[in-house]
């Protein structure tokens, strides 16, 4: 994982932790929330990996039972090791495997972000996440007005908060920080939407960012 990508994800988690007006947070507050966020990430990652291991052990037990109770092995003498038998891949088993893969991938990603944040000698990940938050603090009214302007037929207050936070991060990068390629900012905003928000979020976020890019002449 690249440091900037980790920083965007950390900024998203940081935004989700805000429980008061954004301008009321000091830089120390932001750093404290980031530390709390990293701890939450590692704790959640550990929990999810334990769930995955438990599910894998359960699946292994089911496969072992299926093998032991297969007619080919029931006909073998007692004390003789079972022989492998064909295993029908049911949709249920396939779905459970996909679910465990998804959980494991998210857990590994969380651990990567935590590792980037805690081991990065120059604190690039933490500093960039804080930079995003500080730019949003200074320009939060304009950023939210931009989101509201392009969210036609949507009540800003009723927009999914995760979508608003993803848009806030991307718009701050595009209009104020201006330190990353436009395509990278948009692509990673869409990745955050796919990972954390609803099925319709990616197209909604992509549509708003496209309008911002055109109207503000971002290249």
| 88 has pLDDT over 80 | no
| 207 has pLDDT over 70 | yes
Average pLDDT (106-121) is 66
Going by pLDDT thresholds of 50, 70 and 90, the confidence category of residue 41 is: confident
Of 6, 8, 11, nearest to 34 (Cα)? Answer: 11
SS3 call for 206: helix
pLDDT of residue 120: 58
| 83 has pLDDT over 80 | yes
SS3 call for 116: helix
Tens digit of each residue's pLDDT (9 = 90 or more) over 125-135 = 888 999 999 99
Cα end-to-end span (Å), the chain: 25
What percent of the chain lies above the pLDDT cut of 70? 91
Where are the strands (E) in 19-80, listed by range? Answer: none
| 54 has pLDDT over 90 | no
Query: Across 45-49, 72-76, 102-106, which has the greatest mean pLDDT?
Result: 72-76
CATH architecture label of 3-215: Orthogonal Bundle (1.10)
Average pLDDT (90-98) is 70
pLDDT of residue 164: 95
Dist. CA 173–CA 154, nearest whole Å: 23
DSSP per-residue codes, 134-158:
HHHHHHHHHHHHHHHHH-TTS-GGG
């Amino acid at each position: 994982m690249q440091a900037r990508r980790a920083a965007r994800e950390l900024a998203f988690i940081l935004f989700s932790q805000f429980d008061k007006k954004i301008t009321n947070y000091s830089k120390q507050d932001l750093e404290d929330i980031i530390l709390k966020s990293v701890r939450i990430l590692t704790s959640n990652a550990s929990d999810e990996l334990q769930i995955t291991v438990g599910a894998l052990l359960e699946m292994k037990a089911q496969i072992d039972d299926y093998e032991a109770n297969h007619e080919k092995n029931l006909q073998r003498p007692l004390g003789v090791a079972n022989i492998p038998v064909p295993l029908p891949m049911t949709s249920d088993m396939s779905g459970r495997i996909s679910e465990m893969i998804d959980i494991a991938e998210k857990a590994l990603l969380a651990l990567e972000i935590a590792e980037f944040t805690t081991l990065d000698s120059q604190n690039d990940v933490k500093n960039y996440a804080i930079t995003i938050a500080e730019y949003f603090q200074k320009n939060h009214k304009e950023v939210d007005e931009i989101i509201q302007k392009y969210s036609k037929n949507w009540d800003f207050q009723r927009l999914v908060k995760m979508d608003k936070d993803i848009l806030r991060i991307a718009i701050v990068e595009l209009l104020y920080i201006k330190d990353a390629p436009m395509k990278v900012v948009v692509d990673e905003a869409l990745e955050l939407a796919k990972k954390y928000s609803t099925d319709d979020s990616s197209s909604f976020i992509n549509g708003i960012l496209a309008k911002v890019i055109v109207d503000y002449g971002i290249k």
